[in-house]
Amino acid sequence: MRTSNSASALKTIAKGAGVVTATGLAAAAGWTAWSALFINHRQSVPPAIRANRYVTATPLSGRLSFYADESASSGRPLILLHSINAAASSYEMLPVFEHFRGKRPVFALDLPGFGFSERAERTYHPDIYVQAILDFVDGELAGADAVDIVALSLSSEFAAIAAVEQPDFFHSLAMIAPTGFQSTTPRGSERVHRAVTFPVWSQAVFDLLVTRPSIDYFLQKAFAGQVDPGLADYAFLTSHRPGARYAPFYFIAGKLFTPDVRSWYSAIQQPVLAFCDLGDFGPSDLLPQFCRDHANWEMACIEDTKSMPHFENPGPTFERLEAFLSATEEPHQVAAPESADTL
């Protein structure tokens, strides 16, 4: 009797699993068809920032777009770098751009695979982003003073490596919610990348990630209060453009993070201001001790914010950033970079 009941239960479970599987496959097929036939992947996207926009060509990173305001008659150039995510854009740095507009030359770079920069189907890796920064400084700002840079999240890693490789290009670095200071470090997965980029469902998978509810969900993890509506609107538009999925899939697979990035952070010789990350993706637990161990690093934590203090509490954020930039104008010596063997 017991055996008969067990066999009956197993048959019932198997039948139920078959129904669930069939339902799941039907839903996946339906979403894939909906993605191909009814989702607009050519949204009209306005400029992320109301400023002159230019395009420059680079040998490794391809066509790069950037916004510029050079109305200030003097001042050290300031470069702004947005984060890397499924719907990233220079809109993420809009409050910083607006704050410094007219006070000094300010530039916001669309990184490779995002915004109005080239979104080619290619292999994306950290070197592309590091070289994009270096090519921009060496090409568009050649002959100018060493630049200050403000980078958001993962772009802090690219800025750090660029500053170590070409220290004469950079005067100071400010990092908002820099990656690499969490207790757990993302690892690249070729299996994940192959799975999400399989041609049959690649676009449909990405479309799931960038629905408006999904964008709101992930942005909320970076905001202590209400998500900035303009940022959410722009994220939706910019993620529904041709080629929008190529670079983000490398990020999703963890392939754009630099292993042992704190070795690169340690090698920076310029002054660094790091705004701590209190977001839901992982607070920067290791940052306080790192700043205590490195005399050229200082940390700022802005109240009532998570990962986007320049949006949520701009007054104290910019007050702290202005004080840092002003202090760095005091004469200081940039040491030679450490050899690659030490990194």
Full domain range(s) for residue 272: 52-330
**Any domain includes 34:** no
User: 82: number of CA atoms within 13 Å, CB side?
Assistant: 30
Q: What is the mean pLDDT of residues 239-244?
A: 97
Tokens found for residue 95: 């409050």
Tokens found for residue 108: 């916001």
CATH code of the domain in which 237 resides: 3.40.50.1820
When the pLDDT of each residue in the chain is averaged and rounded to a whole number, the result is 89
CA distances for 127 relative to 23, 243, 331, angstroms: 43, 20, 31
**Any domain includes 142:** yes
Residue 55 has pLDDT above 50, yes or no: yes
Residue 3 has pLDDT above 90, yes or no: no
SS3 300: strand
Tokens found for residue 220: 């909320």
Geometric angle at alpha carbon 248, from 149 and 254, rounded to 5° = 85
Angle between helical axes of 126-140 and 155-165 (0-180°, round to 10): 60
DSSP 333: P
**Any domain includes 1:** no
**Any domain includes 169:** yes
Helix/strand/coil (H, E, C) string of 142-193?
CCCCCEEEEEECCHHHHHHHHHHHCHHHEEEEEEECCCCCCCCCCCCCHHHH
Can you give the pLDDT at residue 278?
87
Element (H, E) at 299: strand 297-300
The answer to whether the CB of 171 falls within 8 A of the CB of 76 is yes
Q: What is the mean pLDDT of residues 86-109?
A: 98
Q: Which of 249-258, 269-278, 306-315, 333-342 has the lowest mean pLDDT?
A: 333-342
- In the chain, what is the straight-line distance between the N-terminal and C-terminal CA atoms, in Å? 68
Can you give the pLDDT at residue 23?
56
Residue 268 has pLDDT above 70, yes or no: yes
Q: What is the mean pLDDT of residues 48-72?
A: 95
Tens digits of residue pLDDT in 167-195: 999 999 999 999 999 877 777 788 999 99
**Any domain includes 71:** yes
CA distances for 201 relative to 113, 123, 204, 242, 302, angstroms: 20, 19, 5, 16, 41
**Any domain includes 5:** no
User: 298: number of CA atoms within 13 Å, CB side?
Assistant: 12
CA-CA distance, 153 to 30, in Å (whole number)? 35
**Any domain includes 20:** no
**Any domain includes 4:** no
pTM of the model: 0.88
CA-CA distance, 28 to 284, in Å (whole number)? 37
Q: Please state whether beta strands 297-300 and 272-275 pair in parallel, antiparallel, or not at all (unpaired).
A: parallel
pLDDT band (50, 70, 90) for residue 6 = very low
**Cα–Cα nearest to 24, from 189, 250, 201:** 201
CA-CA distance, 290 to 292, in Å (whole number)? 5
Residue 39 has pLDDT above 50, yes or no: yes
How many structural domains is the chain composed of?
1
SS3 29: helix
**Cα–Cα nearest to 128, from 177, 161, 94:** 161
CA-CA distance, 131 to 302, in Å (whole number)? 31
The answer to whether the CB of 124 falls within 8 A of the CB of 247 is yes
Residues sharing a CB contact under 8 Å with residue 80, sequence separation 6 or more, in sequence order: 90, 93, 96, 97, 106, 107, 108, 109, 149, 150, 151
CB atoms within 10 A of CB 57: 11
Can you give the pLDDT at residue 331?
54
